[in-house]
Structure formats: C-alpha cells, structure tokens
Amino acid sequence: MSGKKSSRKTFNAVFYSFAGFLFLYSAYLFLSNIDQLFVTKAAIETREITAVWGEDREVLNQFAGGFWKDPYFWKSLNLTVITTLITTLIAATLGIPTAYALSRYRIPGMSFIETLFSSLIVMPGSVIGICLIVMFNYGPLWKLQNALGFKFAHSIFPGMVIASLVLSFALGLSAWKAAFDSVNPRFEQVARSLGSSRWRAFWTVTFPLAKSGIVAGIILAWTRAMAEFSAVLFFCGTFHELPPSRFSNFTKFMQMDQADWVSVAVWAQVEFGNIEYGFALAFVLVLIGGLSVYVMHRIGAKGFVW
C-alpha cells in the first residue's frame, strides 16, 4: 500500500515539476527585468558616449528614469488603447454575424474556410504585413486610393485599424464560432416553430446562450489586437519622428499624435537606446496581457485553433 502511495507521489512530483519549470521560467523572464526600468550607471555612460559621438539619435528620456513625465509614453498608450478598442468593435460587429453564418448555414467549401482562418493564426506576422502592403499598395486598390485621395498604409486611422484587425478578427472568429457551435440549434428551431422570426430567434434565444463565449471572443480579439506587432510595423511603421502637420485634428485632440503603437515603440525605443522607456511600455503590455488572460481562465473561455 505504501509503495502505491509513494509511486503516486513521484508521479505527481514529476508532472508538477514540468509545469513548475514553465511557471518559473515565465515568471523569471518577466520579473527579473524590472531593474531595466531604472537608469543605471551603464545607461548614463552609454548616453554620454552617444553625446560625444554626436550621433543624431533622439534620446527621449531626459528625466533620468521618469518615463511617466514624458507625453510620448502616455500618447503611445492612448493611441494603442483607442485603436484596439475600435478594432475590437469592428471585429465584433463583423465577426459575430460571420461566425453565426459559418456555424449554422451550409456554406460550400467549409473545410477550405476553416483551413484559411486557422492557418492565419500560425502564419508569420511579417507575411501578414507584406500581404497587406502588397494588397493595398499595388494594383486596383492602389488606383482606388489615388482616386479617393488618401492612403491606407502609413496612417493611424485606416492603417493601424486594418493592420490590427486581420489577426484579431481571425482569432475572435474562432471563439465566436465555437460559442455558436456549443449552442444546440434545436432551441432556435423551437422558437421558430412557435412563430418568432429568424432575427428574433437569434437575438432572444441563441445570443443569450452563447453570451459567455462571445465575451471571451471579444477579450481574445482585444488581447490579440494589443499584441499585434509585425503587421503594424510593416503596414504603418513608426510615427514619432513625423512632423505635427501629418496628423489630423482628431488625433491631436485625442492626444494620439507623434506616438507609436506600443509594441512597435518597445522595439524602437530599445533600439534607440532608451532602454527604460522600452521596458516600461513592455511591462504595461505584460500587465494588460496577464490581466486579460487571467479573466479568460476565470470565465473558462474556449477559442479553437480551428
């Protein structure tokens, strides 16, 4: 009997240790870098060297660690949060009817559609960015933009929203489709047989039943839009060097001008040598991502790869 107990204990210990390894690795990875937020002696020396070389690099943070005193930090956050909220809104308004159609109606080529949307999730971000550039900057869409007189690429409003929409829509769609798949279509048929219209049957029967899955899909789409990097980098680039005349009055009013998409800003600031800036923005992303994934675990969300 004791032998059995000890074998159970070893078994548990082995499996716990693998999960514990992953937990400790992830926690160590994110927590051990907290000292990067502060300006160290090495960082000051690097800056002095850059000043002597006379490199034309913009050292943004003249407050020695006080990144929160600089408007760029807040403007970048503002830009990303507002843009991702708009993206999520568009993804939800387009994605929920699409998911319902894919889940309920017989559409030919269903396996092709599912393969397309699942492969988007494992496609490199750089490919998505290149596809967007090639799609919008060549051919008929380019002529259309010339005729209309504005460009999609390298702009905040259509550009960033389009770039973050591609993957967040694909991921949200998988969750919404799973939510509608989990609701038995019989309930809706009963409602229809009792005389309610198709819209009423959807709105009063299926939608409330699928509500938790739909909320999970919205959180998933928002998290994915916040985590977007490559598509925004390829399609929009960075904005903080652009002159103020390039920004519209609306973006100036919303305090979104001369700022970057947060994950692009992390990359750009670390490359420019403003390490504590980059890591401060990175920690904001970690906090937001951790919080939303915690909520998803709590409500038991499901998002299928296909």
Rule CB under 8 A: which of 220-279 touch other proteins? Answer: 220, 223, 226-230, 234, 263-264, 266-267, 270-271, 278-279
- Cα(302)–Cα(306) distance, integer angstroms: 11
Among 86, 94, 209, 254, binds other proteins (CB under 8 A): 94
Phi first, then psi, for residue 19 (nearest 5°) are -65, -40
Of residues 36 through 75, those in contact with other proteins by CB under 8 A are 36
Alpha helices in 122-261 (DSSP H): 125-137, 139-148, 161-181, 185-193, 198-201, 207-209, 211-226, 230-235, 249-253
Q: Identify which of residues 82 and 295 has a Cβ nearer to other proteins in the complex.
A: 295
Q: What are phi and psi of 258, to 5 degrees?
A: 50, 40
Structure tokens that stand for 160 in this block: 């960033």
* In the complex, minimum distance from the CB of residue 244 to other proteins, in angstroms, rounded to a whole number: 27
- Among positive and negative, which fits the CA dihedral 44, 46, 51, 55? negative
Under rule CB under 8 A, which residues in 169-198 are in contact with other proteins?
Answer: 169, 175, 178, 196-198
Comparing CB distances to other proteins, the nearer of 162 and 256 is 162
Tell whether residue 8 is a contact of other proteins (CB under 8 A).
yes
Q: Which stretch binds other proteins (CB under 8 A): 5-13, 67-75, 81-89, 241-249?
A: 5-13
The minimum distance between CB 60 and other proteins, in angstroms, equals 16
Q: Which CB sits closer to other proteins, 36 or 258?
A: 36
Nearest to 306 by CA among 110, 95, 163: 110
In the complex with other proteins, the residue whose CB is nearer, 251 or 263, is 263
Considering the complex, state which of residue 33 and residue 247 has its C-beta at the smaller distance from other proteins. Answer: 33
CA distance linking residue 227 with residue 242, whole number of Å: 24
In the list 40, 51, 69, 115, the residue contacting other proteins (rule: CB under 8 A) is 115
What is the nearest approach in angstroms of other proteins to the Cβ of residue 252? Answer: 26
* Helical (H) or strand (E) element with 18: helix 2-31
Residue 118 binding other proteins, by CB under 8 A: yes
Number of other CB atoms surrounding residue 64 within 10 Å: 13
DSSP label at 67? G
- Residue among 282, 202, 232, 290 at smallest CA distance from 87: 232
Q: State the minimum distance, in angstroms, from the CB of residue 76 to other proteins.
A: 13
Please identify which residue in 200, 211, 246, 252 interacts with other proteins, judged by CB under 8 A: 200
Tokens in use for 222? 């928002």
Nearest distance in Å: CB 11, other proteins: 4
